[in-house]
Amino acid sequence: MFNYLISSAADPYSSHQQLQIAEVKLTEMEMQLPPHEGDELSVVDMHTGGEPLRIIHSGYPEVKGDSVLSKRRYVREHLDHLRRVLMFEPRGHYDMYGALVVDSELPEADLGVLFMHNEGYSTMCGHAVIALGRFAVDYKLVKEPQSPETQVNIHCPCGLVKAFVEYSEGKTGGVRFLSVPAFTFATDVTVSLERFGDVTVDISYGGAFYAFVDAKRFGLDVTTSRTRDLVDAATAVTNAVKSQVKLYHPTSDDLAFLYGTILTDGKDDYSSDPTANMCVFAEAQVDRSPTGSGVTARVALQYHRGLIRLNQTRTFQSGATGSQFTGRAVEETKCGDFKAVVVEVSGRAFYTGVSRFVQEPEDKLTHGFLLK
């Protein structure tokens, strides 16, 4: 575009000189913000396995609270309008996901984080942890990075998660993380769905609670069926479990809620071949990645059933994009009275850009909207 305009204009400067001038003017224009109210909100956008992560870099008001969990309650009660601004259209979309870096009360934590999505605030997010690991090293939120891996301790609402970021010659790469204790809450639970009748599900915790069911129960395939059909089936399961099963977490009532349903390909017996799943969480939001906390919960479930041994690595594939995470149980532990495991999940995250958002005073849609 610039080359065409320059070559056709009658001007004493050469095309190369005009291009340089145009680029300087464009750069100056990009540095200026339009008229707006309130603070500028700056973000760094990434994706992990296709699942977006909008990391809020600056512009958020002070988040009050003496713990990460209390900060989660504070943003839900006092700053939720900013979640809608950044997650909803026109700046985001129905399936946008976000992370707000906050201070942690844990001395060993490098950073705390609050996760946000179309419905509210989750307690754990594996794809976000993978992206935040790279972000923390690249944006110098940790001390001098080390090769071949730099450890980043991330305090999530569910607890401390240890991420390990590949680092070589100044560049970050893949990330693995060690989960909070993951456990199976219940197996072979029957719930009644209005459209589908009685369905048997398993419920497992990987920083958040998920219901698991084979997609074939609904005549579906997680890799080939229409996303809308998968969403409808998973949402029906989520609603049924929420209304018919009371969840419990031994350390905090804030963690005792069903985050979503994961439809699987039914290949739970150990194999070197990938096993696929599709996670539908929050307000029928579709995860494009294999779902890090979902992989954690699924590994815990497979270990509970004796289908996978300690340090036996499995590959989990997203039914939406085909992207892959690996997961393995590395240590037995306890979470209250539950037998639990620490799960290691590995994946890759990539940067997609940076943005600076403002709100114009006369924009009636500035606070965001969603199309359902």
Catalytic residues: 125
How far apart (Å, rounded) are the C-alpha atoms in residues 329 and 341?
6
Instruction: Measure the N-to-C terminal CA separation of the chain; round to a whole number of Å.
Output: 37
Count of CA atoms in the C-beta half-sphere (13 A) of 32:
8
Phi-psi region of 135 (alpha: psi -120 to 50; beta: other; left: phi over 0): alpha
Distances (CA, A) of 209 to 6, 83, 258, 307: 59, 22, 5, 20
DSSP-based three-state secondary structure for 124: coil
Contact (Cβ atoms closer than 8 angstroms) between residue 79 and residue 63: yes
DSSP-based three-state secondary structure for 276: strand
Residues 6+ apart with CB under 8 A from 81: 367
Contact (Cβ atoms closer than 8 angstroms) between residue 105 and residue 63: no
How far apart (Å, rounded) are the C-alpha atoms in residues 317 and 55?
24
How far apart (Å, rounded) are the C-alpha atoms in residues 173 and 349?
8
Contact (Cβ atoms closer than 8 angstroms) between residue 355 and residue 43: yes
Secondary structure string (H, E, C) spanning 50-73: CEEEEEEEECCCCCCCCCHHHHHH
State the burial class of residue 330 (Cβ atoms within 10 Å of its Cβ: 0-12, 13-18, 19+). middle
Residues 6+ apart with CB under 8 A from 35: 360, 361
Closest CA to 295 of 187, 197, 176: 176
